[in-house]
Structure formats: structure tokens, C-alpha cells
A and B are shown apart, each in its own frame.
Chain A
């Protein structure tokens, strides 16, 4: 009895997740809330002298500033691609479609701002492969010459010179697909940590501050989880829950939680012995208040460093996981999927290289600035961590 109830609850949750995932209006609210939260945190932190010093130090490195702007461009594209709506479907004649009860039919897939901006690219569909900026189709077709002879020619494209990075097997623009994949990469890089951080901070700080039995228990939990190699845990999880971006986010959150938790526990152990904490204790401040007001703000830089340095790793591992078959599903735009398709195309003669090249350029364009910026941030925030 008990088990079947649990099963029902579980099934409801499982059906609810894709529902939220597929509803753009709900997502718009979530994205806006996340954005407001980030701006609020940023404003609060930039008022404190410690963080201002760090920002100044990062700004002294020109390459780090450049990297930051590149990341901003990626972030902006991801943001434009995360705000969307469900437009009413229109028939061939431009009339709004209505169902049998005379209700307007809306597009379930939805359209994002980025889609709307890139409509000329999105709709510029060719028959099949075409090279970057080509005028002619990649494959040949048999045509009849005016004198009756048959010959093989490359037919002209419908939209010549428009495809900056060529088109794929079914004629979709590769540049457009690469831009769409940015959102997947950014979600994996940011959302994963957003899931993991609250748990890591809470358990890490509590374990470090209270010690004793609580510490033992929390240490046991994260040591056990961490002792399962990441790729194996991800493989098991994705096999059971199926492929997809939400699942990948959750399991990567679970695997990235443990490392941060361990570091935060260690740092809290150090902070606990500091004079300012002792004086707060002497004045009779309750433990939770000490954690919230004193310890958490003083370990926050470690959280930020871990988030930024872990970002590139997660973007890279998405590609590898998708190749193995435990990444995002086939319906999600991602660089891993593009690489996966490109592998078969590379074996053809002449090779079709532009799918792979596009994924390479776009991934390097995100991961390299993330690494550079992360290093600068780490050096500015915590010179002691330079050795790691």
C-alpha cells in the first residue's frame, strides 16, 4: 500500500518535470527570478571592500576582462534563448488555427527571443549538406541538359552564401544550431551548480561548525557519494531516468556537490577558531546566527571560485557524455550531439568537416574564456589557492 502511494507521487513528479520544462511562461518567470537574485547578490557583494578589491585586481588583467566580455556575450545569447513564448499556430492561409471547441491552438514547442531574431536563418532550409558560405549544394543531382544528355551537377542552393557554417544532413543551418547549443552548455554550467550550492554550503558549514556526530554523518555521506566515480554514477542515473537535460543537470549537481562540501567543511573548521567567531560566541549569539552572519560570508569566495572553475569542466563533459550515450537526448541542441553526428560525416569522402569545426569553435569560445576568467578570479579572491 505504502509503496504504491510512493510510486504515484513519484510518477506525478516525473510527469511534472517535463511539463515545467516545456512551458516557456513558467520558465520566463524562473529565469527572471534567477536574474534578479544574481543582480541582488552582485550588488550586495560589490559594496564590501574585500570583493571590490578582488574586482579591481581582476580588472587589471586585460585578458581576463576580455574573457569576461566573451562570457557576457555567451550569457546574453543563452538568456535570449531562455525567454520564450508559445505563439498561436497559423494555417497555410495565415489564419489562426482553432480546434473543435473554437479554442486557439498554441505551438507546444514554443519560440524564444533568439529564434525570433534568427528567423531568416531558422527558415533557410536546404535539401542536404552544403559547405560554409557555398553557392551550390554539396551533393550532386542528375539533370537533363538542353540537348538531352544526362549529367551530374551540384544544384544551386535556395539561400546561397547565407550559411556561415554550412548546413547539416537535413539542410538545417549549422550556425543556428551552434547558437542554440549555447543555452544547453550554459544551463549545464550554471544550473548544475545552482542546484548543488545550497546543499554544499549548508552541509559543509554545519559539519565544520558543529563537529561531533553531525560531522561524522555528513562526512560519511559525502565520502560515500564521492567514492563512486562520477562517470559511473552518471551512467547509472541516466540509464535509469533516461537521457535529457534536466536529468543530466540533477546528476551532475549530485556529483559536484561533494567536492565543494568537503572544501567548505575544511574552511569552516579554520574560521571557527578565529577570534571574530569566538567573540560572537562570547557575546551569546546563537549558532545559526553565527553561521549565517559570520561564517557563510567568509567562505563565499570559495563557492564562487569552485563555481567558475567547475564551469568549463561541465561544458566539456557534456560533449563526452553525449557521445557515450548518457548525455542530453537527441531532441536537445548541444555541441555533444553535433560532434556525435559529425563523426560519421568525417568518414565520408570528401569529408564533411564543418559540423565538427562549428562545435569546436563554439566550445573553445566558451571554455577558454571561462578558464582564463576563472584563473584570474581565483588569484584575486584567494591567493592561497594558487597552488591548486
Chain B
């Protein structure tokens, strides 16, 4: 098992290198350090000296790939690529372009609030979606199934912005059930996170139920289910005992890929409810034109996604003995 995991991680290495190169191309080749300085200094008529000072202060004054003015090894090390892009591999994200804060430390501080929202949302969604999908699958072919599917498509067709705005307006501003926005750590923070979790859960409901239902229906048409019925087992036992276990394999593996991503938080929810998580950090960085932070987030997001894929492979081998590790 361990060798399998190690090999799987080795497969991911070239992809990480590719992502690193893409961030380098986007942020330093397409968008030159000069452009960056001009955007951040804010004026179209920034003098050459100001740009050079800014670049020196933020360490962007090196050549990009190859420094011809240096000798020996420092030809390669005294470059933007070496100084700014390679440290991404070691999760050293450097300093923010705007306020000079340490990005890695900021990210560490903000993971907590993000997880405070996304972890409960993930768990609640997983169980409730599964439960509802199973009930709908139980009534397949009836009017309950028909109308439930229509509701699902309707839920899927509404932009999540409307769920957030509507929920915030109705439940927080109008009915005063929850605080409109804000955040606190520990138990005191619970009252702030209930509404975002609820809204996030409802926004994802339609698509998830439909997906889970189709998996159940596919499982129900298999031979072992027919055998179970032929033995005289009740429909409930067949569905909840036999089909559920097998349907869980594709459903669980489809959600496993999103687990590392929970760290990144939820962009819209964090923006609307003023939660100081990583999603909010990204939005702030976009609004402030902070290239260093966005570059760090792009890299971090990719790493988490790749980690998710590795987790999926591992979970497959754990739940399905037919998949060999060879």
C-alpha cells in the first residue's frame, strides 16, 4: 500500500511542475513585473524610477529566467524564477505585493474559519443528500419521483447568489433568526456559521440528489438486487441494506476529491457573510490586485486538487478489493 501511495505521488510530481510553469508564464511572462508595478502603483504615468524602486523593494528586479550579469550558479539563482516561483514547491509563498505580510502565515490563519464553514456543510450535505436520494429512489417511477426531480432541476437552475441573497435577507434581516454577518472563534462563532452552512447546503442540494439518485437506480437494476428480491426480501431491506452499500462506492469516491478542497473555503459565502477564510482572502486579493497572493492561491488550489485525486485512488483501492495495487 505504501509503495502504491508513493508511486501515485510520484505521478503527481510532473503535474505540479507544469502548474508551477503555468503560474510563472501567466504572472511573470504574460504579465511583466513592469506591468505589475504599474497596476499596483495605480497611476498610468508612473516614472521609470518609481517602477524600479518598487521592483527592487519586492524582489522583482532580477531577470526572469537567466541572469547573464552573474557568475557561476548565481546565473540561475539570481532570477525571478528561482527566487519567486521555485519556493512555491516548499509552500513558501513569499510576501504580499500590497502590504508586505507573510502570505504563508496568513493562509495558515485563515484555514480555520474556512473549515468551520465547509466541514459541517460537507458532512451535512453528504448525509442528507444520500438520505433524500434514497427515499426518491425508493419511490422511483411514481409521482413523488417525478415532482422531486422537477424540484431538483429547479434548484439547480438558480444561481447560488440568489440563495445567499435571499437567505440572508429573509432569515437574517427580516426574521432576525441569525446575525447578518460576522465571525467569532469557538462556540461563540456558532451563531454566525449556521446560516452560511444552511444556505450552502441548499444551494448544492438539487445537483447532489440527482447524482445520488441515478447511482442508486443503476445499482437497483443489477442482478444481485434481483436475487435479493427473489429471495423474498422486502423492498426496504433490498434498498437500504444491499443497494446502499454498493452505491456508496461511486458516491463516496466522487466526494473524496473535494475533501482537500474544503480548506479553500467557499468564495461567495465568505464574501457575503464576512467570514475571514481563504475564499475571502482570494476575493480581497483580486480586489486589491495583489498578484503574489493570487499566485499563491492558484498553486495551493492545484496542490489540493491533485491531493484529492490521489485520495480518490487510495479510497478506491480501500473500498473495492477488485482493484489491485500492482
Q: Are A240 and B27 in contact (CB under 8 A)?
A: yes
The 0/1 profile, CB within 8 Å of A marked 1, for residues 288-315 of chain B is 0101001101100110011001000000
| A51 CB within 8 Å of chain B | no
Mark out the residues of chain A between 304 and 334 whose CB falls within 8 Å of any chain B CB in the assembled complex: 312, 316, 319-320, 323-326
Chain B CB within 10 Å, residue with most, of A221, A224, A312: A224
- Asked if B158 and A371 make an inter-chain contact with CB atoms under 8 angstroms apart, the answer reads no
Scan A202-232; emit 1 where CB is below 8 A from any B CB, else 0: 0000000000000000001101110111011
Q: Which residues of A contact B261 (CB under 8 A)?
A: 229
Point out the residues of chain A lying under 8 angstroms from B291, CB to CB.
239
Q: Which residues of A contact B218 (CB under 8 A)?
A: 387
Q: Are A229 and B267 in contact (CB under 8 A)?
A: no
> A54 at the A/B interface (Cβ < 8 Å)?
no
Q: Choose one: B18, B165, B271, B298; the contact of A236 (CB below 8 Å).
A: B298
Out of B19, B159, B294, name the residue touching A235 (CB < 8 Å).
Answer: B294
- Chain A residues with CB under 8 A of B282: 232, 235
CA distance A325 to B283 in the complex (A): 8
In angstroms, how far is the closest chain B Cβ from the Cβ of A347? 8
* B98 beta carbon closer than 8 Å to chain A: no
B14 sits at the interface (CB 8 A): yes
Tell me whether B271 and A324 are in contact (CB under 8 A). yes
Contact: A236 with B153, CB < 8 Å?
Answer: no
Given contacts A227-B15, A233-B298, A236-B295, contact A372 B214 (CB under 8 A): no
Distance of B291 from chain A, by nearest CB (Å) = 7
Q: Tell me, yes or no, whether B68 is within 8 Å of chain A by CB.
A: no
| A107 CA to B129 CA, complexed, in Å | 55
- How many A residues, CB 8 Å from partner? 40
Cβ–Cβ < 8 Å partners of A220 in chain B: 14-15, 18
A356's partner among B154, B158, B165, B309 (CB-CB below 8 A) is: B165
Q: DSSP majority for the B interface?
A: helix
Q: Do A228 and B302 touch (CB < 8 A)?
A: yes
Q: In chain A between 222 and 273, which residues have their CB closer than 8 angstroms to a CB of chain B?
A: 223-225, 227-229, 231-233, 235-237, 239-240
At the interface with chain B, which of A110-118, A149-157, A176-184, A361-369? A361-369
In the complex with contacts A240-B30, A324-B283, A364-B158, A223-B15 CB distance below 8 A: yes
Which of A221, A228, A324, A386 is the one whose CB lies under 8 Å from B286? Answer: A324
Residue B160 lies at the interface, judged by CB distance under 8 Å to chain A: yes
Interface residue B53 (Cβ < 8 Å from any Cβ of A): no
Q: Is A339 an interface residue (CB 8 A)?
A: yes
Contacts of B298 in A (CB 8 A): 228, 232-233, 235-236
Asked if A12 lies at the interface with its beta carbon under 8 angstroms from chain B, I say no
Residue B128 CB within 8 A of the other chain = no
B19, B27, B31, B159 pick with most chain A CB within 10 angstroms: B159
User: What 1/0 mask marks residues of chain B from 228 to 255 whose CB sits below 8 Å from any chain A CB?
Assistant: 0000000000000000000000000000
A323 B215 Cβ-Cβ under 8 A: no
Measured in the bound complex, the distance between the Cα atoms of B302 and A235 in whole Å is 14
Residues in A neighbouring B26, C-beta threshold 8 A = 236-237, 240
- State which residues 332-388 of A face B: CB under 8 Å: 339, 343, 346, 351, 356, 360, 363-364, 367-368, 371-372, 375, 386-388
Contact A235–B157 (Cβ < 8 Å): no
Residue of A at shortest CB range from B39? A239
- Considering the chains assembled together, what is the distance between the CA atoms of A326 and B298 in angstroms? 15
The interface residues of chain A, by DSSP majority, are classed as helix
Asked if B156 is at the interface (CB within 8 A of a chain A CB), the reply is yes
Contact of A367 among B157, B267, B268, B286 (CB under 8 A): B157
Contact of A320 with B159 in the complex, beta carbons under 8 Å: yes
Task: From known contacts A323-B161, A371-B156, A386-B214, infer whether A227 and B302 are also in contact, taking CB-CB under 8 Å.
Answer: yes
Closest to A226 in B: B305
Residues of A within 8 A of B3 (CB): none
Decide if B69 is an interface residue (CB 8 Å cutoff). no
- Asked if A325 and B159 sit within 8 Å, CB to CB, the answer is no
| Complex Cα spacing A229 to B264, Å | 11
Per-residue 0/1 for B137-165: is the Cβ within 8 Å of any A Cβ (1 yes, 0 no)?
00000000000000001101111111001
Is B177 in contact with chain A by the CB < 8 A criterion?
no
Do B161 and A320 touch (CB < 8 A)?
yes
**Contact: A239 with B157, CB < 8 Å?**
no
Nearest residue (CB) in B for A321 is B267
Report yes or no: B18 in contact with A240, Cβ–Cβ below 8 A. Answer: no
Task: Indicate if the CB atoms of A326 and B286 lie closer than 8 Å.
Answer: yes
- Of A323, A326, A343, chain B has the most CB atoms within 10 Å of the CB of A323
Does B22 interact with chain A (Cβ within 8 Å)? yes
Chain A residues proximal to chain B, CB less than 8 Å: 220-221, 223-225, 227-229, 231-233, 235-237, 239-240, 312, 316, 319-320, 323-326, 339, 343, 346, 351, 356, 360, 363-364, 367-368, 371-372, 375, 386-388
Q: List 22 A-B contacts (CB under 8 A).
A: A220-B18, A224-B19, A228-B298, A228-B302, A235-B294, A235-B297, A236-B294, A239-B286, A239-B291, A319-B159, A320-B267, A320-B268, A324-B283, A324-B286, A325-B287, A339-B162, A339-B165, A346-B165, A356-B165, A363-B158, A367-B158, A371-B157
Question: Given A224-B19, A240-B30, A320-B160, 16 other A-B contacts at CB below 8 A?
Answer: A229-B261, A229-B301, A232-B298, A236-B294, A236-B295, A239-B291, A312-B156, A320-B268, A323-B161, A325-B283, A351-B169, A360-B158, A367-B157, A368-B157, A371-B156, A372-B153
